[in-house]
Structures are given as C-alpha cells and as structure tokens.
Amino acid sequence: MHPTLETLRRRIAAGQARADEEMERSIAAAQSPVCAAVFRQTLFGSARQEASQPGVQQLPLAGLAVSVKDLFDMQGLATGAGSTIRAAEPPAAADSPAVARLRQAGAAFIGRTHMVEFAFSGVGVNPHFGTPAAHDGRHGALPGPARVPGGSSSGAAVSVATGAAHIALGSDTGGSIRIPAALNGIVGFKNTARRVPTEGAVPLSTTLDTACALTRSVGDAIVAHEILSARRVVRSPAALPAWRLAVPTHTFLDGLEPAVATAFERTIGTLRRSGAQITEVPLHATEQLAEVNATGGFSAAESYAWHRHLLARHRDRYDPRVRARIERGAQMTAADYIDLLHARRGWIARMEADMQGFDAFLSPTVPLTAPPLADVAPADGADPAADARRDAEFARVNGLLLRNTSVVNVLDGCALSLPCHLPGELPVGLMVWQGAMRDDAVLAVGLLIEKVLQKQ
C-alpha cells in the first residue's frame, strides 16, 4: 500500500522525507505501465518546480503530487473535458477556485487526468483517448483481464490507486468520485455540493455537480475537503458505539453481486462486533427516485442546455453513448423541468423525515465489482452484433454503478466511499452517507470505520 498524505506530511515536517524526492516517486509511478491512459497531460517539469519551492513543506500539501481531472480550468492550459470537440479551446485565463485552493495549499500538480467525455457515465470508458484499467489501491494490480475503472473520474482514481498522486481533484454528479473509488480500492468523498465552488469546471448538471477529491485514506479526505471547502472539519471525540447508524434495506441492497454482498455483510458484522449500533431501516422513499427522474433528470436537461449549440455543429464527434444521454434532455419541456424541481423538493422532505434519528447510513457504494473492459468496449464497427451486445452491457453496468450513489446526489447529501475488501478479492466500497451539510459527521464515522476495517 502506498503511504498516505498524512504520513508523508509528518515525515517531511520531521525532516525524514523530502517533497522533491517524493515527487520523483510519483513521476515514476505516472510513467509506469499501470498508468497507461491515466493522464491527458503530464506536468512533470512544473511539478518538480512546485515540489522544490522554498517553504512548500510548511504548507498543508507540502509539495506532494496532486492530479486534476481534465474538467477543471488550470491557468495556461486548455480544458478538454475528455472530448476532441474542445481541442481548439484557448488556454484557461485563470485557475478554477478548486485548483486555486489546492495550489495555495502547496499542491504540486503532476498532470491532468483522463475522464469520461463530458463526465456523463459511471463506467469510465472513453473512445477518444482510451480507458485506464482499474487498480487496487490497497493490494496492487487486479488479477485477470483489464477491468473498468469507474467514471467519470476514471484517470483521477487510478492516479491515486497507483501512487502517481496523493490527491486527485475530480467531480461527482451521480457518483463520479465514489464509483471509481470503490472499483479501485481507495477513498472518495462527495461533500455537500454547495461546500465547494464549481466555477471554472465544464458543467454536467449545475444542480448536482460537486467538486471533490479521491485519496488513499479518510484522514487524507479530510485534508482535501478542508482545503477545497476553505473550512475546518469539526472532529468528534465520540467512539463508534455512540453513533446511530442504519442500513437501508430497500434499493441499496437489491441484486448485489455475491462478492459485494459477502464483503458488505462481513463489514457490517465486523463493525457490530466492534460495538457499532446498526439498525436496519427500509427507507421506502428511495424506491420513488425513478419516478422523480422519469423525464430524464437534471443531468439530461442541464447538459443539453449547455451542449445544444455544440451538438448542432459537432454531433458526429461525440461519444454516441454520451450523446444519447445528453439528447434526452431535448425532450424535456420547461414544465417538465419545473415539475422535476418540485418533485425533488418533496422527495428530499420524505427522505429526511425517514432518516431522522440516525447519524449516518451504511450501504454498498456500488452493487457490483468492476467488470472486464472488453465487455463494455466502445463500438468499432467491425461486428455490428458484437457492438450491440457491448452497448447493451454498457447500459446495464452504467445503470447499476450509478444506482446507489445517485441517491445521495439527488438528496443533496454527502457520502464517503472507503474500501472494505480483503486481499485476493476485487475492490468493494462501503458508502457512509447522510443528507445535506452533515459532512463532518460522515467523515468522523468514516475515520472510526476505517480504523476497524484496517484490523481485518
């Protein structure tokens, strides 16, 4: 397992490590075969300079490697958003607020990471620039065939899992941080959306978009969140038995792949034996989410509003799978969108009423382990029947990957995914979540759970 950011910061502060030497280790990882298709653009030269700046070791990120999803503006660089359509975009005039906050905190930016085109998929596949293979951040390379990394923050997750970056800036609109965290055996924290500014990032859904990060530990997730949100997380002294935890039995546990069910049940058992008070609750309102999103949801409507002029000029240059989801928004009327706003508000109220009395909820992050990349590869035209089978499998996998995580986005909530698998198992994520502005509680519970699971 690669060292955490917190560990390296302590070693640098004690004079036992140097940021420039750690940067060389990160660059070596970024250049290794396991990082194939991870970076859209590497920034090794400037990263070395940033890691060597006088005084950087006193800053929160101490000159350690940070990657940036190719969705966020970085001054002097073009923002591609995983698409060839933006190849002619001029360099950004300024850093996005999220990048600026990381830079001010002493980040050394090692590169911009690949992503799903325009962030519109949970699988991680990109037909334009290739797809990085999933990697287990706890136990190393995955056995067997190359597997999907999860999306849309695909390269971001693999950059952390392989040791190329200590923090990866990404985004989460329906699960784009937590899904790849789960499939790569690392930690992903989706904060309450309003906590971190999303200006300077290509939007998917202006209602649901969240700027957040992938890390190797919950402690590192707290460091990243404090920087990105420009606030201090309130640390709770409460022990695990003091927290009121619940497992929702509806929606989240439906049709779990056996490997996920085994890891989740084992985790809940381990936590109970460690004193955790865990109650099973139905949360029936989760079953109403499909009805709330029946006309396409916020991502379809809001992405179409942003893309409609680009589509008129460059429709044939989009990933067809992404284009189909964007164009669904063209069918929504203004009345449909207003109905959606009201439906969401009512659904959140019902959810919050059912969630009263609990500090956090525990669920599998996603109901399946990472499937082979070959099963969902983009169409190549060589065999139309095979293309159709892969498209159908892609749609099935994408729907499943987004099912649990998207509940939290529509709730306007916050959630943490942390690994709960054992050596020899494919990565599985445990999602700790709650409603809006409960970030500190989720992170506090996550720290306690992580400590218990590390003893397995």
Q: Hey, which residues are catalytic here?
A: 69, 152, 176
In this structure, what token pair is assigned to residue 4?
């955490």
In contact, 170 and 213? CB cutoff 8 Å: yes
